[in-house]
């Protein structure tokens, strides 16, 4: 959940603050890709073209990567207009976009049981290499995607370009930020959830003012309904460009299922607990069908494990978390709350016992310089009441204080090298410092948190709201930057420092917005906390 007015409340009246202007040069839109390949020119899409949902790659390993596509000739139908039968799909991957060097080829089946999705787990690749891939099916050739393998486990990479994004409500605006993300030349892109929103979509298509058919009007519940929601979202050419540009590592938040679901707890009301588990399973299944992930582990009852770890040599390790599936229900009825004693209950869990142990064990054994928690909800304390009283969100880590302290203190006790928490959900850009006690600004800083804004959720946003990089918020003194604009986050990670650039677009209610860097903050190796450029 997210309330787009939260930041305005957290930061109080904008008039009492000073603001920096846009710090980066506005860049012209570059709506061309550098994947110039004569094969793609042959297949321009249109009626009967089975690759209308694009291609993607993900979960990069030193010697392997997942290649994804989903066949659909009519994406807004449950099976994408495909026949109820298996379809042979050829794939190939090579070191050049003309598929001349070291190509590996294979064939697989797109099956109706899985919405005609294809997940090829390619092995035998070389570490830290750029590759290009494409598919063939039904006599047509897919667009070409670029991907990259992870560095070798025992290597010492000098640099990693990573970008992350979250929260892309289709009816809230255009995906211009995804288009700019595609031009980042990232080694890897993380998506931290709210890839779709489950809500029904108005006939007008919301802010996009693009008519959408009746079958999208109701909220997602059945597998078919989730599939057509993905069909709509993934038809967007800017999203497709972002997928084609780099491998993605994804995790879900709440809206891939239902707003603010928690473990086995759904929204209540007319949705019974039994119905909720069915809806949740449908959401999980549709998510996997539509994203470039490895097959889930064997089913564990109604659960689907997606927390997992990716290692980029000794430079960075990414602990990709699931803060929805195993958490206790939100305290005090959810929402922003003053004085909620329940949130302090030490028995409350955010990650569940198994994932929490997996995380802390991994952090205890890591040899990486930068240790990343790629996850959904804000870990820094975010008090949105400008008065001395605290009002905190019961949906975020603030509503699970003991669990938060187990993670932050657990990292401090293990002397984890350079912890970096990456966060979605909040629809605002925020940079903050992780404290052992957020109520005591003098308490030790253990690491940093970068919260990325939304791609489109919440509409245009406002350049007038925010805290300039290096500013200080009297209510939340550990927060060093914020902005309420749409965009994504680009991170340049080297052995000496981690630089985060918050990239923003001025509007999403029409196409063609330029991108600029609103704030840049740096973490130095071995120096807890944030520096401002």
- What element of type H or E holds 244? helix 237-245
- Closest to 35 (Cα-Cα) out of 65, 63, 55, 53: 55
Smallest distance, Fe ion to C-beta of residue 197, A: 7
The Cβ of residue 95 has, within 10 Å, a number of other Cβ atoms equal to 15
Considering only residues 409 to 428 of the shown chain, the ones binding Fe ion according to CB under 5 A are none
Return the number of the residue (61 or 451) whose C-beta is nearest Fe ion.
451
Return the number of the residue (194 or 398) whose C-beta is nearest Fe ion.
194
Phi, psi of 69 (to 5 degrees): -155, 170
Spatial distance between the Cα atoms of 378 and 433, rounded to a whole number of angstroms: 12
Spatial distance between the Cα atoms of 5 and 174, rounded to a whole number of angstroms: 21
Question: Going residue by residue from 193 to 232, which x/- string records binding to Fe ion, judged by CB under 5 A?
Answer: -x--------------------------------------
Considering only residues 457 to 486 of the shown chain, the ones binding Fe ion according to CB under 5 A are 457
Smallest distance, Fe ion to C-beta of residue 486, A: 12
Tell me the pairing of strands 64-70 and 55-58. Answer: antiparallel
Phi, psi of 109 (to 5 degrees): -120, 140
Question: Going residue by residue from 490 to 509, which x/- string records binding to Fe ion, judged by CB under 5 A?
Answer: --------------------
Smallest distance, Fe ion to C-beta of residue 479, A: 20
Smallest distance, Fe ion to C-beta of residue 427, A: 6
Smallest distance, Fe ion to C-beta of residue 514, A: 24
Smallest distance, Fe ion to C-beta of residue 22, A: 24
Stretch that binds Fe ion, among 161-169, 176-184, 305-313, 439-447 (CB under 5 A): 161-169
Smallest distance, Fe ion to C-beta of residue 419, A: 24
Stretch that binds Fe ion, among 166-174, 287-295, 311-319, 438-446 (CB under 5 A): 166-174
**DSSP E strand stretches across 275-385:** 308-312, 316-320, 336-338, 370-374
Return the number of the residue (390 or 457) whose C-beta is nearest Fe ion.
457
Spatial distance between the Cα atoms of 287 and 272, rounded to a whole number of angstroms: 22
Considering only residues 380 to 409 of the shown chain, the ones binding Fe ion according to CB under 5 A are none
Stretch that binds Fe ion, among 162-170, 240-248, 473-481, 492-500 (CB under 5 A): 162-170
Smallest distance, Fe ion to C-beta of residue 454, A: 6
Return the number of the residue (194 or 303) whose C-beta is nearest Fe ion.
194
Return the number of the residue (144 or 167) whose C-beta is nearest Fe ion.
167
Return the number of the residue (1 or 469) whose C-beta is nearest Fe ion.
1
Spatial distance between the Cα atoms of 158 and 319, rounded to a whole number of angstroms: 20
Smallest distance, Fe ion to C-beta of residue 80, A: 26
- What element of type H or E holds 189? strand 188-191
- Pair of tokens at residue 304: 């689907």
Q: How far is CA 17 from CA 99, 471, 502, in A?
A: 55, 9, 20
Q: Taking a C-beta distance cutoff of 8 angstroms, is the pair 216, 200 a contact?
A: yes
- Closest to 364 (Cα-Cα) out of 419, 314, 415, 313: 415
Return the number of the residue (193 or 468) whose C-beta is nearest Fe ion.
193
Q: Give the interface size with Fe ion as a residue count (CB under 5 A).
A: 3
Does residue number 449 form part of the binding site for Fe ion (CB under 5 A)? Answer: no
Considering only residues 175 to 194 of the shown chain, the ones binding Fe ion according to CB under 5 A are 194
Spatial distance between the Cα atoms of 2 and 166, rounded to a whole number of angstroms: 12
Burial of 294 (0-12, 13-18, 19+ CB in 10 A): middle
Return the number of the residue (393 or 457) whose C-beta is nearest Fe ion.
457
Return the number of the residue (65 or 167) whose C-beta is nearest Fe ion.
167
Return the number of the residue (260 or 457) whose C-beta is nearest Fe ion.
457
Does residue number 167 form part of the binding site for Fe ion (CB under 5 A)? Answer: yes
Smallest distance, Fe ion to C-beta of residue 2, A: 5
Stretch that binds Fe ion, among 167-175, 351-359, 408-416, 469-477 (CB under 5 A): 167-175
- Pair of tokens at residue 65: 């990567």
Smallest distance, Fe ion to C-beta of residue 194, A: 4
Three-state secondary structure of 408-428 = HHHHHHCCCCCEEEEECCCCC
Return the number of the residue (187 or 256) whose C-beta is nearest Fe ion.
256
Give me the DSSP letters along 386-409.
SSSS-EEETTSGGGGHHHHHHHHH
Which residues, listed in sequence order, are joined to residue 309 by a DSSP beta bridge?
319
Stretch that binds Fe ion, among 238-246, 271-279, 313-321, 454-462 (CB under 5 A): 454-462
Q: What is the DSSP secondary structure assignment for residue 72, as one 8-state letter?
A: B
Return the number of the residue (131 or 450) whose C-beta is nearest Fe ion.
450
Smallest distance, Fe ion to C-beta of residue 162, A: 21
Q: Taking a C-beta distance cutoff of 8 angstroms, is the pair 450, 492 a contact?
A: no
Q: Taking a C-beta distance cutoff of 8 angstroms, is the pair 24, 516 a contact?
A: yes
Stretch that binds Fe ion, among 172-180, 294-302, 411-419, 453-461 (CB under 5 A): 453-461
Return the number of the residue (71 or 167) whose C-beta is nearest Fe ion.
167
Which residues, listed in sequence order, are joined to residue 69 by a DSSP beta bridge?
55, 118
Spatial distance between the Cα atoms of 459 and 15, rounded to a whole number of angstroms: 22
Alpha helices in 336-461 (DSSP H): 352-365, 401-413
Smallest distance, Fe ion to C-beta of residue 324, A: 12
Q: Which residues bind Fe ion (CB under 5 A)?
A: 167, 194, 457
């Amino acid at each position: 959940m997210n309330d787009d007015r939260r930041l305005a409340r957290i930061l109080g009246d904008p008039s009492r603050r000073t603001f920096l202007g846009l710090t980066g040069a506005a860049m012209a839109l570059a709506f061309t890709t550098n994947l110039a390949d004569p094969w793609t020119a042959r297949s321009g899409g249109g009626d009967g073209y089975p690759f209308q949902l694009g291609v993607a790659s993900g979960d990069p390993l030193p010697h392997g990567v997942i290649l994804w596509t989903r066949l659909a000739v009519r994406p807004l139908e449950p099976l994408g207009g495909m026949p109820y039968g298996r379809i042979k799909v050829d794939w190939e991957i090579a070191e050049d976009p003309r598929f001349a060097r070291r190509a590996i080829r294979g064939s697989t089946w797109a099956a109706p049981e899985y919405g005609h999705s294809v997940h090829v787990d390619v092995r035998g690749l070389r570490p830290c290499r750029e590759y290009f891939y494409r598919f063939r099916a039904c006599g047509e050739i897919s667009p070409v995607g670029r991907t990259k393998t992870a560095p070798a486990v025992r290597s010492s990479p000098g640099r990693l370009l990573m970008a992350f994004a979250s929260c892309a409500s289709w009816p809230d605006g255009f995906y211009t930020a995804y288009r700019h993300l595609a031009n980042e030349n990232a080694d890897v892109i993380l998506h931290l959830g709210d890839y779709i929103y489950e809500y029904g979509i108005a006939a007008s298509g919301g802010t996009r003012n693009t008519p959408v058919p009746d079958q999208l009007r109701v909220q997602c519940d059945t597998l078919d309904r989730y599939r057509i929601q993905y069909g709509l979202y993934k038809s967007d050419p800017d999203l497709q460009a972002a997928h084609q540009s780099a491998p993605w590592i994804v995790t879900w938040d709440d809206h891939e299922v239902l707003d603010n679901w928690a473990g086995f707890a759904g929204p209540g009301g007319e949705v019974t607990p039994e119905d909720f588990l069915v809806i949740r399973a449908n959401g999980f299944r549709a998510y996997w069908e539509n994203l470039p992930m490895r097959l889930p582990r064997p089913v564990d009852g109604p659960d689907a494990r997606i927390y997992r770890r990716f290692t980029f040599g000794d430079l960075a390790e990414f602990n990709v978390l699931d803060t929805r599936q195993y958490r206790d229900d939100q305290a005090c009825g959810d929402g922003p709350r003053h004085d909620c004693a329940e949130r302090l209950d030490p028995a409350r869990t955010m990650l569940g016992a198994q994932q929490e142990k997996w995380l802390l064990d991994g952090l205890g054994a890591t040899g990486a310089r930068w240790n990343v928690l790629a996850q959904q909800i804000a870990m820094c304390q975010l008090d949105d009441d400008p008065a001395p009283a605290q009002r905190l969100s019961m949906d975020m880590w603030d509503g699970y204080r003991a669990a938060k302290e187990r993670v932050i203190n657990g990292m401090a006790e293990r002397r984890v090298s350079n912890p970096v928490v990456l966060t979605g959900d909040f629809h605002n850009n925020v940079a903050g410092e992780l404290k052992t006690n957020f109520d005591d600004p003098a308490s030790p800083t253990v690491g940093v948190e970068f919260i990325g804004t939304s791609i489109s959720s919440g509409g245009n946003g406002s350049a007038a709201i925010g805290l300039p990089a290096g500013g200080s918020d009297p209510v939340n003194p550990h927060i060093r930057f914020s902005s309420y604009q749409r965009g994504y986050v680009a991170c340049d990670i080297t052995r000496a420092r981690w630089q985060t650039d918050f990239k923003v677009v001025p509007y999403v209610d029409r196409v063609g917005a330029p991108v600029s860097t609103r704030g840049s903050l740096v973490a130095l190796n071995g120096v807890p906390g944030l520096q401002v450029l």
